[in-house]
């Protein structure tokens, strides 16, 4: 497993879809995951330190987990199947480790609130990560065939379309996502 951190959150102007960019903590690879607007807002608000008087969904879940004597140990982004990323939440309660299936976007939003580390499977990064060298993006391999023009939530575009798209991409093409 390779540790990741939230590198940035943007808006893919080509599809008008939010993208969370996870960055290798001790490396140069990026893992872009197209996500839904609700989860993007939850991530953006936490990154910006915005707090509300009443808990939002991910804040509520974090409070429930802690109140039940559990702790989020880590998030694992484990695989991509049919262009959909999968993640697991790893909790500990009374010495017992509990694994719960989750969408990566919800996992990231919860990990930020719980100060839990995020990891990705090495093979997943080898297939789907994007390399950053000298300020330019060099894509790796990603997912299987789908329509890149309309990525599904948390979907990986097909490799050749992602490769071409990222080669043409200017960093300014990722707009700032505002909740």
User: DSSP characters for 4-22?
Assistant: EEEEEEEEETTTTEEEEEE
Residue 168, pLDDT score:
54
Q: What is the DSSP letter of 143?
A: -
Give pLDDT tens digits along the chain (179 positions): 999 999 888 888 778 889 999 999 998 889 999 999 999 989 998 988 888 889 899 999 999 999 999 999 999 999 988 878 999 999 999 999 999 999 999 999 999 999 999 999 998 888 887 765 544 443 332 322 223 333 344 444 455 554 555 455 444 455 555 55
State pTM to two decimals.
0.74
Residue 161, pLDDT score:
55
Residue 126, pLDDT score:
86
Name the β-bridge partners of 71: 92
For 27, phi and psi rounded to 5 degrees? -160, -170
Residue 146, pLDDT score:
29
| The pair of three-digit structure tokens given for residue 177, joined into one six-digit string | 């996502």
Which helix (H) or strand (E) segment is 119 a member of?
A: strand 118-120
Which helix (H) or strand (E) segment is 104 a member of?
A: helix 104-114
Dist CA 179 CA 177 (whole Å): 7
Name the β-bridge partners of 10: 19, 176
Domains in the chain: ranges and CATH: 2-176 (3.10.690.10)
Residue 90, pLDDT score:
98
Residue position matching structure tokens 């990560």 = 129
């Amino acid at each position: 497993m390779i540790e990741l951190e939230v590198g940035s959150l943007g808006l893919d102007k080509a599809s008008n879809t939010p993208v969370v960019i996870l960055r290798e903590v001790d490396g140069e690879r990026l893992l872009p995951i197209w996500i839904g607007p609700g989860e993007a807002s939850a991530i953006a608000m936490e990154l910006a330190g915005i707090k509300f008087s009443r808990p939002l969904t991910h804040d509520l879940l974090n409070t429930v987990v802690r109140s039940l004597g559990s702790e989020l140990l880590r998030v694992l982004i484990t695989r991509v199947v049919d262009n959909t990323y999968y993640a697991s939440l790893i909790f500990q309660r009374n010495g017992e480790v509990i694994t719960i299936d989750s969408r990566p976007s919800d996992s990231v939003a919860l990990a930020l609130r719980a100060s839990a580390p995020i990891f990705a499977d090495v093979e997943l990064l080898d297939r789907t990560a994007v390399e950053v060298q000298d300020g330019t993006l060099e894509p790796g391999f990603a997912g299987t065939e789908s329509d890149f023009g309309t990525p599904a939530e948390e979907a990986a575009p097909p490799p050749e379309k992602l490769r071409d798209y990222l080669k043409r991409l200017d960093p300014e093409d990722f707009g700032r996502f505002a909740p």
